[in-house]
Structure 1
Amino acid sequence: MTTEAQEQSAPLVAVASADAVLRRPEAGEHLLTAMERERAARFRHESGRTDFTAGHVLVRLCAARLLDVPVAGLVLAQQCPDCGLADHGKPYLPDHPGVHVSLSHTRGVVAAGAGFQPVGVDVELSTRGGSLSSVARRVLAPAELALVEADPEPERAFLRLWVRKESLIKIGRATLDTLGRVDLSALPLTVPPGAPLRSRYEDLHLLDWTDPEHAAAVAAVSTAPPRIVELTAVG
């Protein structure tokens, strides 16, 4: 496969504010299924409903770009492999079984990915409240924990590992119970704003990005090199 063909078939990853996604002329709750709208309605606060809706729209935008089809024709579904319910679990496109999708949302920021290869994405605000490191001993390998504790900014270092590991869960390479056995200590913890950082873990391609506009840590992982695309600019 040529380099151009590889780039065209690479998994697509997009990150944007929830508001920017929903400003797209084709975006809105009308794209969501009845199940998705029911789930959105469960959020107590409007901000939560907005983030949920934007995430489910952005993943459709990624898939539409990948497939070169109208976004309105894409149906997104989820199903839990453990309980079988369709209101949570790994997202998929029933009408396009050869396409893999992933999505993530935090306060005001959403991320999504779509590819012909398995893809997982995660986004977290760098300035989020609370202490993520409170769970560090449960989800980090010993070598990772040592790096985080020695880092001048341990919360930032932990957040970088956390989004990577969340991406691995979404691609099916780890679970919450096995995260402590996944050792990413060989990968750099510092990802300056600007160009994405690319690295490898076993057979996987990792993309790390610090999004300066949203003060967010983003990670994407796939068996092929993911690429970040802009999907929210309104022409």
Structure 2
Amino acid sequence: MDTLFRPLVPGRVHRWGGAGLLVARRPDLTHLPLCLSAAEQRVARALPAWRRSGWMAGRLLAKRLAGELVGAPAREVEVLPRDDGSPHLLVGGRPLPSLHVSVSHTPGHAAAALAPEPVGVDLCETAPADTVHRAAHHAFSPRELSLIGTDRGTDRDEALAGAWALKEAAVKADRSGPFGGAPHRIPLLGLRPPALGGPRRAMAWRAGDVVVALVLAHA
């Protein structure tokens, strides 16, 4: 059966629209070393145990991606939260305002993206939980639901995962927070190819059992 989104190979650096993207299966990351700065270690220790491993997987990929794109050793790269919780990149202790970072993870995968403009990356499993199906009628407008489709099944699950991931990636790029009305203010205009309202560029891929959404927004 044809999939809605183009396949993406985990473990390879992909480039799109000036951004670098790296997606990996989390089991493939468990044997890789992770160099955390003292500041990153403090953040990690403050997280609940159930969040910590996903947080670290995203940072590992962001550090590897920064190493490939800017040539910085992993030990010199930090990914720390701003006051609003969004991540920002430092190299050698100095912020890189010209380079934006975003991370995401699910139980099985992690992703990181770097770009010279505000960027958001999000992962959503293609077999969403029933709560996601129930929430769809509240999260999407009637027009958006028509793009997703109305019948339960594999195709609709992939479309729903893609729509969900695209909106969440856009919220991350906007740094507007995933709660409240922010997702509703970002109209989904298309899935093939992905399109969002406003000054945003969007793309989505299929990587195994997840959809990967990448959104670039003007600063």
* TM above 0.5: yes
Measured in 2, the distance between the counterparts of 1:146 and 1:8 equals 28
Q: Of 185, 190, 205, which aligns to 1:186?
A: 190
Comparing 27-36 with 202-211, which one deviates more in the overlay? 27-36
> Shift in Å at residue 28 of structure 1?
2.1
Aligned residues of 2:101 and 2:119 also touching (Cα < 8 A): yes
Match of 2:210 among 203, 208, 216: 216
Instruction: Tell me, in whole angstroms, the C-alpha distance in 1 between the residues paired with 2:34 and 2:176.
Output: 33
Within the alignment, does 1:23 sit opposite 2:31 as a pair? Answer: yes
Give the aligned partner of residue 171 of structure 2.
Answer: 169
Q: CA 1:104 to 1:37, structure 2 compared with 1: closer, same or farther past 3 Å?
A: same
Partner residue in 2 for 1:159: 161
Report which of the two has the higher share of strand.
Answer: 2
* CA distance, structure 2, for counterparts of residue 210 and residue 74 of structure 1: 29
Q: Residues 51 and 108 of structure 1 are in contact (CA less than 8 Å); yes or no, is this contact kept in structure 2?
A: no
Report the 3-state secondary structure (helix = DSSP H, G, I; strand = E; otherwise coil) of the residue aligned with 2:117: coil
Mapped contact 2:35–2:74 kept (Cα < 8 A): no
SS of match in other structure, 2:187: coil
Query: 1:12 touches 1:114 (CA, 8 Å); kept in 2?
Result: yes
User: Distance between the aligned counterparts of 1:37 and 1:183, measured in 2?
Assistant: 34
Task: Give the AA of the match of 1:155.
Answer: D
Of residues 65, 85, 91, the one that matches 2:87 is 91
Instruction: Give the letter for the 1:23 counterpart.
Output: H
Residues 4-83 of structure 1 aligned to structure 2 (within 5 Å): 10-24=18-32, 27-28=33-34, 30=36, 33-40=40-47, 42-44=48-50, 48-81=51-84
Is 1:126 matched with 2:126? yes
8 Å CA contact 1:63–1:101 kept in 2: the answer is no
2 CA distance for matches of 1:8 and 1:156? 21
Could you tell me which runs of 5 or more consecutive residues in structure 1 were left unpaired when the two chains were aligned: 1-6, 82-88, 189-196, 225-235
SS in 2 for 1:220: strand
SS of 1:107 mapped into structure 2: coil
State the 1:135 CA deviation.
1.4
Q: What percentage of aligned pairs have identical amino acids?
A: 24
- Tell me the SS of whatever aligns to 1:76: strand
- 1:103 matched to 2:103: yes
Given that 2:103 and 2:122 are in contact with CA atoms closer than 8 Å, whether structure 1 keeps it comes out as yes
Deviation at 1:128, TM superposition (A): 4.6
For these two proteins, the number of residue pairs brought into alignment is 195
1:115 aligns with 2:118: no
The residue aligned with 1:84 is none
RMSD: 2.7
| Aligned-partner Cα distance in 2 for 1:55–1:160 | 20
Q: TM-score, normalised by structure 2?
A: 0.76
| Alpha-carbon distance, 1:149 to partner | 4.5
Matching residue's letter, 1:57: L
**Aligned counterpart, 1:3:** none
Unaligned runs of 5+ in 2: 1-14
Pair 66,8 (structure 1): closer, same or farther in 2 beyond 3 Å? farther
Q: Give the AA of the match of 2:123.
A: V
